[in-house]
Amino acid sequence: MPNTNPLRVLLVDDDVLVINVVRELLEEAGHTVVGNAPDGQLALELTKSLRPDIVFMDIEMPGMSGLEATRQIQEQCPVPVILLTAHEDAELIAVASRVGAAAYLVKLPNPGELTRTMAIARARFADLMELRALNAKLQQALAEVKTLRGLVPICSRCKCIRDEKGYWQRVETYISERTEAQFSHGVCDDCIKVLYPELNLPRFSPSAGDPPGG
């Protein structure tokens, strides 16, 4: 059955046999192999220039290893990477996750394994990109948060605060300019008694439940 979602694939392995077998499986599935590389350094360069949809990466190669190439790819030009390994290894899985690999395949894969692993890799990569975007937004939000630290000179009578230039400001003005806080104004129970003594309103106690009319 022809693939309705063909992908552009980069193959990285110093074993020509592996390259040829995986290429044949990919092409039979309807995908396009846009290039191949025998080492990690060239893999990084080709990933930048060719922008493949997915990369199959051998681990042990001359020069830059597949793990290091994967790490640099995720830093410089993120793309789903599937590691090719000679055997399963629990430690390898942990290392692969740390460098940003989305999945791994044991050489030589069959068509079913290849298709399934590609789908898993793309899904995990999409989740990773979403997580990175959310983390970036969080870091930006944290960077924009302003805090007040140290001693704050405040008038004991009117409660105005003296700023860094020596000017006195209302409390809400001082805080609003230095934090993300916003103020809504009301009148407290004690001030109501002073301003409107004729009302004789009952005093609200938080422990007594909701305020009157709440």
Q: Is position 210 within any domain? A: no
Predicted model pTM? 0.62
117/189 same-domain check:
no
Residue 79, domain member (yes or no): yes
Name the nearest CA neighbour of 100 among 133, 68, 63, 64: 68
12 and 61 Cβ atoms separated by less than 8 Å: yes
pLDDT at 20: 94
Residue 150: per-residue pLDDT: 66
> Quick check: is 41 in a domain?
yes
**Residues 98, 33 share a domain:** yes
Per-residue confidence in pLDDT tens, the chain, 214 aa: 445 589 999 999 999 999 999 999 999 999 999 999 999 999 999 999 999 999 999 998 988 999 999 999 999 999 999 999 887 777 777 888 889 898 888 888 888 889 899 999 998 888 888 888 888 888 776 665 555 666 778 888 788 888 888 888 888 888 877 777 777 777 777 777 777 776 665 555 555 455 544 4
Q: How far apart are CA 156 and CA 162, in angstroms?
A: 12
| Per-residue CA distances from 200 to 81, 138, 170, 193 (Å) | 73, 49, 29, 7
Do 79 and 134 share a domain, yes or no? yes
Q: List b or e across 181-193, with b for residues whose CB sees 16 or more CB atoms inside 10 angstroms.
A: eeeeeeeeeeeee
Q: Do 165 and 75 reside in the same domain of the chain?
A: no
Answer whether residue 164 is part of any domain. Answer: yes
pLDDT at 7 (0 to 100): 94
Helix axes 111-144, 16-28, angle to 10 degrees: 90
Tell me, yes or no, whether 27 and 85 share the same domain.
Answer: yes
Q: What is the pLDDT of residue 183?
A: 76
Q: Are residues 189 and 99 in the same domain?
A: no
**Domain of residue 73, residue span:** 8-141
Q: How many domains does the chain have?
A: 2
The SS3 assignment for 205 reads coil
Running DSSP on this structure, what letter comes out for residue 202?
A: P
Among residues 141, 159, 174, the one where a domain terminates is 141
pLDDT at 214: 42
Phi, psi of 90 (to 5 degrees): -60, -40
Q: Are residues 124 and 164 in the same domain?
A: no
The predicted structure's pLDDT at residue 213: 45
CA 214 to CA 201: how far, in whole Å?
15
Q: Would 213 be classed as within a structural domain?
A: no
Q: Are residues 168 and 182 in the same domain?
A: yes
